[in-house]
Structure 1
Amino acid sequence: MYRLVFTQVLRRLDAEAVHRLTVSALALLARLPLLKRLLHRAFAPHDPALRITAFGVHFPGPLGLAAGFDKDAACAEAVAALGFGHVEVGTITAHAQPGNPRPRLFRLVPRHAVINRMGFNNDGAAAAARRLRRTRGVPVVVGVNIGKTKVVPEPEAAADYVASARELAPLADYLVVNVSSPNTPGLRDLQAVSLLRPLLTAVKEVTDGTPRRTPLLVKIAPDLADEDVDAVADLALELGLDGIIATNTTIRHGGESGGLSGRPLKGRSLEVLRRLRARVGDRIALVSVGGVEDADDVWERVLAGATLVQGYTGWIYGGPLWAARIHRQLARRVHRHGLKNITEAIGRTAA
């Protein structure tokens, strides 16, 4: 049914308009306690075999929603009720900003891909913090992804990230420093270790000082050279980060300007995951994102060493209950392999 609706209706509509309408509908659902709880009971992962503990946080299942959908922390509970094990909101900047000019979101249906050049459009850290302070009606793990405000010059980037972290880290189950979006000029330059070290050090001082010590992760691009992937991995270990998210969108696609996500990213995302696993082992958590479409993809990432997996474009093409379906299939696979828990499968091909 969803495939029919998508091919006959949704794909004919402006991609950003559909996105805004979907977020609005889910934000409304998040304010309907009874319906939200019923959906959560029906579709959220509840099988103990799928439970994962990463950086001190308990996740009901390995598959979460990547940053980029819920930019302003408007609908995380509703998303969790549809079957995701966690929701990463953002990217959120210290100051509100409109993002890049439209059109800025494009579907590539034959490739099961999306190109976006949104440019961190969001209402700012203070507005997101107000939403995150609301009482949650259903259990949901919420990560917060922060980025640089576009008008802030590079020398002031660390202070800009720190401002967001002070506002949001106490309210987040984990915090992500995003230095890998291709849609903010100069942002990816911050992945250079010489610039990344002081930035992460400054943000970590904030996360370490929250009442429960908010876990800190960094998100990297698939377009980094292998030696730069290694350098970021080494830096993460040196600074005592809690994890690395790999990967963001790619600019190596030859289409509209912006970042490409979805099926074409699958191979490189898996390569980066395997390289990171070989470099850091199980000393920090690895979150794999990029080209995840089905339970086979999630299982492959877990076997390659991912503690958690994220998707977004796969949800666009897979339908509202995409995550719930994948979690059911994963639970059956765990039981079929005679494992007590999916964590027993992490890194088995890397061992």
Structure 2
Amino acid sequence: MSADGTRTPIDATEPGGRADLLERVNDVIYPRALKAMFRIPPEQIHRIIAAAIRICGRFAVTRWLVGRVLAVHDPILTSTVFGVRFPGPLGLAAGFDKNAEGADTWGALGFGYAEVGTVTAIAQPGNPAPRLFRLPADRALINRMGFNNHGAGAAAHRLTTRRVLSGSPGAVPIAANIGKSKVTPLDEAVEDYLISARLLGPLADFMVVNVSSPNTPGLRDLQAVDSLRPILAAVTAAVNIPVLVKIAPDLADEDIDAVADLAVELGLAGIVATNTTISRDGLRTPRADVEAIGPGGLSGAPLAPRSREVLHRLYGRVGGRLAIISVGGLESADDAYARIRAGASLLQGYTGFIYGGPLWTRRIHQGIARRLRADGFASLAEAVGADVAEGAS
């Protein structure tokens, strides 16, 4: 993908060194299929795709067949971050698998891990529809879903009944992303988060505390250090797995620094940066169309510049003490590798997966592996923050 968001042709530098059959299918057939899918309401097509993913995960043979095509098994991509082993750095961002229904399938689809949720203590329907909108000219989405999910108890049940258990072939780490229930007052947020943490902590590989969605009233107020401290301290004490916090791209730089310092103080494992943005700057979609959509969080390509800025700031502040998961506008192997060299230990995507097609994860993982070897690295971990180290030398 070029800097201006247009699709670049496959050449000898792309996975496999040539435009093989799968690449052609992805580049020729998928864009046409995407146009057809975009004629269907967003949530309806999401339900169809989610159902297909669930069905794929039910059978070992379908998981194996899909994994043979999409999963990249390359030792140079394997890393251990906050004590968890990841077969690849690119994971599925929260928001796609809200109810942990596809946990058995994400590894076969080529992801190195998946973050399920956001899950809340109390099941909730979310905001009224329409609440999910496409901006194809920007390769972006706007959502105001409002943490629609079946509740932490239902997610815990699904994770308990997983067919592909941690440590078995094809398994990838699963993170539980937890948020505040809409009906819970802000002054009762700690206990609300604890309900989800206690249910999901024994079943997930790591946990992400979400205080940064723009679609739950007052939630972003919890990013203030005085409000955030008791939540993170309580969740960290309640679970025996690594805990991370997910922050908004719209935070002022000094507030990012304050959250990073708090995360270090409390012994968190890392920071997920960033969530969706409320900014609408620089969009190609006509302003009138964007205004007609209304409020919500923007994800996709327009978020990339700010996501990279936050990554650079965080690594400069806490690099080496906290792991950083970079998410927001990730589309290409070039961008993925640049973020690793800038300090990201892990990466995530969601909107890029929708626009990039089924080979998206494979292309990015293969591209990272190729770039690591070209630069003389023996492992992915060696490349994390390499550009910062070189700049300081």
TM-score range, shorter chain: over 0.9
Alpha-carbon offset, residue 281 of structure 1: 1.6
Is 1:206 aligned to residue 238 of structure 2?
A: yes
Alpha-carbon offset, residue 320 of structure 1: 1.7
Match of 2:109 among 73, 77, 82: 82
> Equivalents in 2 of 1:297, 1:347: separation in Å?
14
Is 1:259 aligned to residue 303 of structure 2?
A: no
Which position in structure 2 is the counterpart of 1:148?
180
> Equivalents in 2 of 1:115, 1:228: separation in Å?
24
> Equivalents in 2 of 1:100, 1:135: separation in Å?
29
Q: Is the 8 A contact 2:103 2:159 kept in 1?
A: no
Which position in structure 2 is the counterpart of 1:308?
346
Q: Is the 8 A contact 1:45 1:85 kept in 2?
A: no
Task: Please list the CA deviations of residues 46-70 of structure 1 after superposition, one character each: whole Å capped at 9, or x if unmatched.
Answer: 1000011100000001100100000
Is 1:224 aligned to residue 251 of structure 2?
A: yes
What aligned pairs does 1:320-331 form with structure 2 within 5 A after superposition? Answer: 320-331=358-369
Which position in structure 1 is the counterpart of 2:81?
54
> Equivalents in 2 of 1:190, 1:106: separation in Å?
26
> Equivalents in 2 of 1:237, 1:279: separation in Å?
10
> Residue type of the partner of 1:192?
A
Q: Is the 8 A contact 2:273 2:324 kept in 1?
A: yes
SS at match of 2:372: helix
Q: Which runs of 5+ in 1 are unaligned?
A: 208-212
Alpha-carbon offset, residue 263 of structure 1: 0.6
> Equivalents in 2 of 1:135, 1:105: separation in Å?
29
Match of 1:276 among 314, 319, 325: 314
SS at match of 1:115: strand
> Residue type of the partner of 1:203?
V
> Residue type of the partner of 2:62?
L
Match of 1:287 among 319, 325, 329: 325
Which position in structure 2 is the counterpart of 1:210?
none
> Equivalents in 1 of 2:119, 2:127: separation in Å?
15
SS at match of 1:81: coil
What aligned pairs does 1:106-185 form with structure 2 within 5 A after superposition? Answer: 106-137=133-164, 138-185=170-217
SS at match of 1:80: coil
For normalisation by structure 2, the TM-score amounts to 0.86
> Equivalents in 2 of 1:336, 1:224: separation in Å?
36
Task: Please list the CA deviations of residues 300-345 of structure 1 after superposition, one character each: whole Å capped at 9, or x if unmatched.
Answer: 1101100000000000100122111211121122222221112111
Task: Please list the CA deviations of residues 17-52 of structure 1 after superposition, one character each: whole Å capped at 9, or x if unmatched.
Answer: 111111111011111111112322432221000011
Is 1:347 aligned to residue 385 of structure 2?
A: yes
> Equivalents in 2 of 1:134, 1:304: separation in Å?
38
Task: Please list the CA deviations of residues 257-313 of structure 1 after superposition, one character each: whole Å capped at 9, or x if unmatched.
Answer: 100000110000000010000000211100000010010111111011000000000
- Structure 1 residue runs of 4 or more that deviate by more than 3 Å after TM superposition: none
How many positions carry a matched residue from both structures?
A: 345
> Equivalents in 2 of 1:20, 1:99: separation in Å?
15
Which position in structure 2 is the counterpart of 1:71?
98
> Equivalents in 1 of 2:230, 2:145: separation in Å?
27
For normalisation by structure 1, the TM-score amounts to 0.96
> Equivalents in 2 of 1:231, 1:247: separation in Å?
15
Match of 1:250 among 270, 277, 297: 277
Is 1:187 aligned to residue 219 of structure 2?
A: yes
> Residue type of the partner of 1:193?
V
> Equivalents in 1 of 2:119, 2:40: separation in Å?
26
Which position in structure 2 is the counterpart of 1:4?
32
